[in-house]
Amino acid sequence: MLVRLDAVFEGALGFVLLGGVATGALEGSDFSVAAPALVVVGALLLALAVVIWSGRIGLRALAVGNALGAIAGIVWLLVDPGLSTAGTVVTAVAIACLAALAAAQAATLRA
């Protein structure tokens, strides 16, 4: 179940980025990157969601990847003064979800 939940999260985040760019709700300036970079990241997240859903990535790798992603997000929040309110909110929510997934996946591995 945690693997599927992880896939759903990655896919949802990909859709948020792609939809945000498509509708103008998110721009590159929200994240201090060019808008095409958000499209690339969104598309990669959708592809990652498919791979995770298929079961080709193990729970341990997901836990490590999610933990590293949460840490990278925290560092980004701390060092990038150019994030807009929207960029900060999306990043903070992603960090919280990644950390929760990593903790749940790690706990499952220990059980």
Q: What is the dihedral of CA 101, 40, 46, 24, to 10 degrees?
A: 90
Give me the tens of pLDDT residue by residue for the chain, a chain 111 residues long.
999 999 999 999 999 999 999 999 999 899 989 999 999 999 999 999 999 999 999 999 999 999 999 999 999 999 998 899 999 999 999 999 999 999 999 999 987
| Residue 96 pLDDT | 98
pTM of the model: 0.92
- Helices 2-23 and 85-110: crossing angle in degrees, nearest 10, is 170
Would you say 70 and 106 are in contact if contact means Cβ atoms under 8 Å apart?
A: no
Query: Integer distance in angstroms from the first to the last C-alpha of the chain?
Result: 15
Q: Phi/psi zone of residue 55: left (φ > 0), alpha (ψ -120 to 50 degrees), beta?
A: left
Would you say 15 and 38 are in contact if contact means Cβ atoms under 8 Å apart?
A: no
**Domain spans of the chain, in order of start:** 2-110
